[in-house]
Amino acid sequence: MTSPRLAETSEVVAQTRMPRVEIDLDALKANWRTLDALNGRGRTGAAVKADGYGLGAARVSAALYDAGCRDFFVAWVEEGVALRRALAAGDRNDARIYVLQGLEIGAVPACLATRLVPVLSSLADVAAWGEGVERAGRRAPAALQFETGMNRLGLDAAALPIVKAAEAGGTLDVALVMTHLASADEENGQSAEQRALFLRFAAEFPQAERSLANSAGCFLGPGYGCDLTRPGIALYGGWAGALSHGRLRPVATLTAAVLQVRTVKAGEAAGYGAAAELSRDTRIATVGLGYADGYLRAASGAGVPLREGRPGATAFIAGQHVPVLGRVSMDLTLLDVTDVPADLVEPGTRAEFFGPNVPIDDVADAAGTIAYELLTGLGPRVRRVGR
């Protein structure tokens, strides 16, 4: 989200050349339906943590709700409270919102007031929830997360007797049991092991719904869908394992505008550190996008020794793919537009840095990272525009 101060300034100044990410809400909904169709009778939820993977949790959740999604996953209680408010403002009141990141006792009243379902992942979480609901004199559903091999968050087998006792004592209503797949997008056999272990845990809570699959897990076959899936990156058009290839539409298009164009002689250099040495006369377009906007410095141009052995990133301008030149700087990136007809690139021309023409996963590869990091790292100056 744009910070309030920036939004105010921007309204007054009316700049059109700032970086922008366009969010194709129809593609988002289509991706949700694609995933939903993979899961037979099970429901398909949505991970909208980290502000909807950087695209605006309120906007993407409303669109997904309208596509039929009723189960939303956030990391923190504060994210859940904000999401409840945003959904309620559009009369979307029957959404279930789960908070993945465990629970502090001080957050229980907010959970109860806004009907958040905490995902309890430790005995401390279970105790905090029990104490909180007792104090409030209320009962409310909770979810349990079990540890099945990722060794990140989750209850293990030794916790079962205590959890069962809390359930029997009436302070714990287990609505959902879940675990998280560590390798759903890889073929190392771990998913099958995790699934088997998860089903053993789940058998202890026969009345509870089951949730296992993240995005890549949705593609692993019917045994993984269970009652509810939790896709994130696939909704937003990112790679979700080899089985997702060609089945998801790009959702986010990052564009930025050319500020200047200049021709530079062979033998000169461009950018910080003179890192790009020009082997030919080169037309350079300077674009208003940089690492402060989340366009990573590690995506700098070929020859810049920031990533061993990877080509630099490319952008798409005037119908052509062009290389990033030299080092990406804080607010600016250089493109080599020598091969684009001169009259097609001028100040104000927008270049695509990822989107339908530049797969976000290619940019991520060039920067040595993953699409998740590019999306969630989009900076506050990047305008989010839904369409």
Q: Which residues are catalytic?
A: 49, 272
Q: How many whole angstroms separate alpha carbon 352 and alpha carbon 21?
A: 10
31 or 253, CB closer to ligand PLP? Answer: 31
From the list 129-137, 197-205, 230-238, 243-251, the region that binds ligand PLP by CB under 6 A is 230-238
Burial class (CB in 10 A: 0-12, 13-18, 19+), 279: exposed
CA neighbor of 281 nearest in space, from 339, 320, 327? 339
Q: Does 231 bind ligand PLP (CB under 6 A)?
A: yes
55 or 264, CB closer to ligand PLP? Answer: 55
- With vertex at residue 101, the alpha carbon angle to CA 96 and CA 106, rounded to the nearest 5 degrees, is 90
With H, G, I as helix, E, B as strand and everything else as coil, classify residue 120.
strand
Q: Which of residues 74-103 bind ligand PLP (CB under 6 A)?
A: 100
Smallest distance, Å, CB 258 to ligand PLP? 33
Beta-strand relationship, 46-47 and 43-44:
unpaired
Q: Does 54 bind ligand PLP (CB under 6 A)?
A: no
Smallest distance, Å, CB 214 to ligand PLP? 4
Residue from 34, 121, 194, 215 touching ligand PLP (CB under 6 A): that is 215
Q: How many whole angstroms separate alpha carbon 311 and alpha carbon 332?
A: 19
Smallest distance, Å, CB 385 to ligand PLP? 22
140 or 143, CB closer to ligand PLP? Answer: 143
Q: How many whole angstroms separate alpha carbon 211 and alpha carbon 202?
A: 10
The radius of gyration of the chain's CA atoms, rounded to the nearest angstrom, is: 24
Q: Does 232 bind ligand PLP (CB under 6 A)?
A: yes
47 or 313, CB closer to ligand PLP? Answer: 47
Could you tell me if 386 and 58 are in contact, meaning their C-beta atoms sit under 8 angstroms apart?
Answer: no
Site string for ligand PLP, 166-205 (x = CB under 6 A): --------------x-------------------------
From the list 18-26, 228-236, 251-259, 326-334, the region that binds ligand PLP by CB under 6 A is 228-236
49 or 59, CB closer to ligand PLP? Answer: 49
With H, G, I as helix, E, B as strand and everything else as coil, classify residue 254.
strand
178 or 317, CB closer to ligand PLP? Answer: 178
Q: Does 233 bind ligand PLP (CB under 6 A)?
A: yes
Q: Letter for the amino acid at 314?
A: T
Beta-strand relationship, 320-325 and 314-317:
antiparallel
Strand partners, 315: 322
Smallest distance, Å, CB 96 to ligand PLP? 14
With H, G, I as helix, E, B as strand and everything else as coil, classify residue 225.
helix
From the list 6-14, 27-35, 225-233, 337-345, the region that binds ligand PLP by CB under 6 A is 225-233
- With vertex at residue 191, the alpha carbon angle to CA 186 and CA 196, rounded to the nearest 5 degrees, is 170
Q: Does 214 bind ligand PLP (CB under 6 A)?
A: yes
Tell me: is residue 330 an annotated ligand-binding position.
yes
Q: How many whole angstroms separate alpha carbon 169 and alpha carbon 94?
A: 28
Strand partners, 386: 23
Tell me: is residue 152 an annotated ligand-binding position.
yes
Q: What is the DSSP-derived secondary structure letter of residue 234?
A: T
Smallest distance, Å, CB 216 to ligand PLP? 6
Q: Does 230 bind ligand PLP (CB under 6 A)?
A: yes
Residue from 47, 62, 77, 172 touching ligand PLP (CB under 6 A): that is 47
Could you tell me if 334 and 288 are in contact, meaning their C-beta atoms sit under 8 angstroms apart?
Answer: no
Q: Letter for the amino acid at 368?
A: G
Contacts with ligand PLP, residue ranges (CB under 6 A): 47, 49, 100, 180, 214-215, 230-234
